Amino acid sequence: MPASQDTSVRKSTSLDELTQTSKKINSATKRLNAAVEQLNEALKRLNLGVPVWIEVCGGSPDDHIVETEELGYAKVKGRWGVCIRFTVEGLGPEPEEKEWHFEDAPREMRIHASSYFNKLMTALNEESLKAAQTMEESATDVEELSLSIVEAANNAIGRATLKPRPVEAK
């Protein structure tokens, strides 16, 4: 077989293999994006409103430049969802950040992040519990302050009596 014909056959085989590989990676990407969208819909119904980020990969300082990839649940471009953030530190006085919703992030970053979803859900639960505890403590403090002010207003000369209203948790 002449060398040019041999090269042509190898190119054809390589292109056929590449075409099949392309179909596989695009199908897998579509499936992963659909699963993340389903997760986003479920999280949206929970209405947590608590952002959380976990590190997926970060480089050691090389010439004082540090790159970090994070998977998170946050409000990006006005919409809550699973997101990816890429940060570069050391290029200027402030870190440079770029954020995407998961399906819009570069494929390589989605691949890096894809094995961190359980860790993200654990972190989201922990941060949401902390936020709930903080709000409970604040509610108690504000309720006490409100009752004190109502009492002070009732004791003021020439003022109508205010009735404190019990605050009920929903």
Segment 42-69 mean pLDDT? 89
In DSSP terms, which residues pair with 66 in a beta bridge? 89
- pLDDT tier, 159 (very low <50, low <70, confident <90, very high otherwise): low
Q: What is the pTM of this model?
A: 0.77
* 124 contacts 50 by C-beta, under 8 angstroms: yes
pLDDT digits (tens, 9 = 90+) for 124-156: 999 999 999 999 999 988 988 888 888 887 777
Per-residue pLDDT averaged across 106-126, rounded?
A: 97
Residue 101 · residue 73 · CB < 8 Å: no
Please say whether the beta carbons of 100 and 76 come within 8 A.
yes
> For residue 19, is pLDDT > 70?
yes
- Identify whether the C-beta of residue 132 lies closer than 8 Å to the C-beta of residue 140: no
Residue of higher predicted confidence among 148 and 170: 148
Closest CA to 56 of 97, 95, 87: 87
Q: Check: CB of residue 82 under 8 Å from CB of residue 102.
A: yes
Q: What's the rounded Cα separation, in Å, for the pair 160 and 140?
A: 26
Higher pLDDT: 101 or 161? It is 101
